Amino acid sequence: MIQHWDNSQKTLIAFTLISSIIFYYITVQIPPELPLLYLDNFKFEPFVSFFKYITYLGESGPYFVFGLFFIYKKDKLYAWIAGLGLTVMLVSNVLKEFFYERRPYFYLVEKGYLDNFHIIEDLHLGNNSFPSGHTLSAFAIFVFIILSKRKPLVWNFLLLLLAFCVAVSRVYIGHHFMQDVCAGAIIGTLLGILFDGIRNQTTKNLARI
């Protein structure tokens, strides 16, 4: 699966998986409110505007629509992006229903933190916190794009940085715990790798026909 990756791609993917696993392990060892309350100290401009809008890069629906819109192109990468966008929505919803974890809002209320918590936008309610769908989507899509074609290291790094910013934004805004986004990053990265492997093998099989 990884034979067609160059060294920079291998390094970035390895770094993403290892760092996400380490952060997940750390966050499950500490009180879940600590990352939320720490980032709450930085809710001022330009951080508020940046994270408020960067979080939309984790919406999987637009990637599905984007891929469909350009599906007529000779480069079938757009079709794969559409398929991945749809897969992300399905996987995210299934996992959320399976784990059925409460959103940070309820924890903040129970612990008495909500009154002093800086709310950027309405906090999400419900029991669909784990894993973070936005983070899962961002890492799946951007990792897939990183692996799909060889690009200068700086471009791959920027794509990965955007994915990490989406992850931080979900905690910064107060919609997720840190372990939610770490799990989303791990699952999303693995999903991006899986889709790249399927795309690469499918391309080889079609070339033989």
167-203: pLDDT as tens digits: 999 999 999 999 999 999 999 999 999 999 999 888 7
In angstroms, rounded to a whole number, what is the distance separating the alpha carbons of residues 84 and 36?
30
* Residue 122 in this model has a pLDDT that exceeds 90: no
User: Where do we find the tokens 């990468």?
Assistant: 77
**Domain map of the chain by residue range?**
7-208
Predicted local distance difference test score (pLDDT) of residue 125: 75
Predicted local distance difference test score (pLDDT) of residue 16: 96
Predicted local distance difference test score (pLDDT) of residue 13: 94
- Higher local confidence (pLDDT), 156 or 60: 156
Q: How confident is the model at residue 124 (pLDDT cuts 50, 70, 90)?
A: confident
Record the pTM: 0.93
Kindly state the tokens that stand for 182: 């770490």
* Residue 75 in this model has a pLDDT that exceeds 70: no
pLDDT tens for 20-34 read: 999 999 999 999 999
Predicted local distance difference test score (pLDDT) of residue 204: 79
Predicted local distance difference test score (pLDDT) of residue 73: 63
* Residue 205 in this model has a pLDDT that exceeds 80: no
Would you identify the CATH topology of the domain 7-208?
Vanadium-containing Chloroperoxidase; domain 1 (1.20.144)
Predicted local distance difference test score (pLDDT) of residue 1: 61
* Residue 209 in this model has a pLDDT that exceeds 70: no
Predicted local distance difference test score (pLDDT) of residue 66: 67
Predicted local distance difference test score (pLDDT) of residue 72: 62
Predicted local distance difference test score (pLDDT) of residue 159: 93
Residue 81's Cβ-count burial label (10 Å; 0-12, 13-18, 19+) is: buried
> Cβ–Cβ contacts within 10 Å for residue 79, how many?
16
Q: Which residues contact 169 (CB under 8 A, 6 or more apart)?
A: 51, 52, 54, 55, 58, 134
In angstroms, rounded to a whole number, what is the distance separating the alpha carbons of residues 207 and 209?
6
Residue pair 67/82 in contact by the 8 Å Cβ criterion: yes
* Residue 79 in this model has a pLDDT that exceeds 90: no
